Amino acid sequence: EEVLELLMGNKMKFALGFHMVRGRGQAALDRKESIVEGIESEAIFFRETSPWKEVEDRILFGTPNLRKKLGDLQMEMIR
C-alpha cells in the first residue's frame, strides 16, 4: 500500500513522479525467457495483480511506457 501511495504521488511528490516496472527474475532467465516474453509477462502482471490492476492511469506501468516517457524527456532536454 505504501508503494501505491508513492506511485500515485500521495505520499511524496517528485518532479518526474514514479514508474513501475517488473523485470524478469532469475527463474525467467534460467528458462531463457526472451525480452518480448518478459514484457508480455510484465503487462499481464500489472493488468491482473492487485493493487496495480485498480490504478486507472496505465501509463505508470511497464517497460514500454517507461521507455516512451524517458524518450520524450530526452527530446525535451535536447530542444
Q: What is the pLDDT of residues 15-70, one digit of tens each?
A: 888 999 999 999 999 999 999 999 999 999 999 999 999 999 999 999 999 999 99
Would you say residue 11 has pLDDT above 90? no
Rounded to two decimals, the pTM is 0.83
Among candidate residues 58, 21, 20, the one with its CA nearest the CA of residue 39 = 21
Rounded Cα–Cα distance for residues 1 and 41 (Å): 22
